[in-house]
């Protein structure tokens, strides 16, 4: 079969050849291209399997976060229970407890002021290093 005979057959069956090319294209597209969507979690284009994996990981992370919150709340409840038990036995001096809390706040303020002083000093030193010195 020569090339001219092939072209003659194609011209004679244009509609059938066009339909065959469309069917082949659609088949390749359906079986060769996975559907994707934008993930609401990572905001990337993902396939169905990747979306399921992201959702499972997100659910596991949520469970860990809830466990962490539960641990924190349990710890706070234990501290309060210890404080209540200690206060009920008469071992707590309210003035002493208030002064202790005030001391903790004062220590925080002192540390904060030292951090700010260090930042100011470093910026001042950097500015002095850049500023030209007057010639006398």
- The one-digit pLDDT tens for each residue of the chain (136 residues) are 788 888 888 888 899 989 999 999 988 888 888 888 999 988 999 999 999 999 999 999 999 999 999 999 999 998 888 877 777 776 667 777 788 889 999 999 999 999 999 989 888 888 777 777 777 6
CA angle 73/58/33 to nearest 5° reads 175
**pLDDT tens-digit readout, 69-98:** 999 999 999 888 887 777 777 666 777 778
**pLDDT tens-digit readout, 90-101:** 666 777 778 888
| pLDDT value for 87 | 72
d(CA 92, CA 97): 7
d(CA 69, CA 63): 10
Q: Beta strand pairing status for 45-46 and 37-38?
A: antiparallel
Query: pTM, whole model, 2 decimals?
Result: 0.44
Within a 13 Å sphere around the CA of 94, how many CA atoms are in the beta-carbon half? 1
């Amino acid at each position: 079969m020569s090339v001219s005979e092939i072209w003659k057959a194609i011209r004679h069956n244009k509609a059938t050849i066009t339909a065959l090319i469309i069917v082949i294209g659609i088949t390749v597209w359906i079986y060769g291209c996975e559907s994707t969507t934008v993930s609401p979690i990572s905001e990337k284009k993902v396939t169905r399997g990747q979306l399921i994996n992201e959702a499972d990981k997100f659910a596991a992370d949520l469970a860990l976060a809830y466990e962490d919150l539960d641990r924190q709340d349990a710890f706070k409840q234990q501290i309060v229970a210890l404080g209540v038990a200690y206060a009920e036995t008469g071992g707590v001096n309210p003035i002493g407890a208030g002064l202790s809390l005030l001391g903790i706040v004062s220590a925080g303020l002192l540390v904060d002021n030292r951090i700010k002083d260090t930042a100011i000093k470093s910026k001042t030193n950097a500015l002095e290093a850049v500023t030209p010195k007057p010639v006398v």
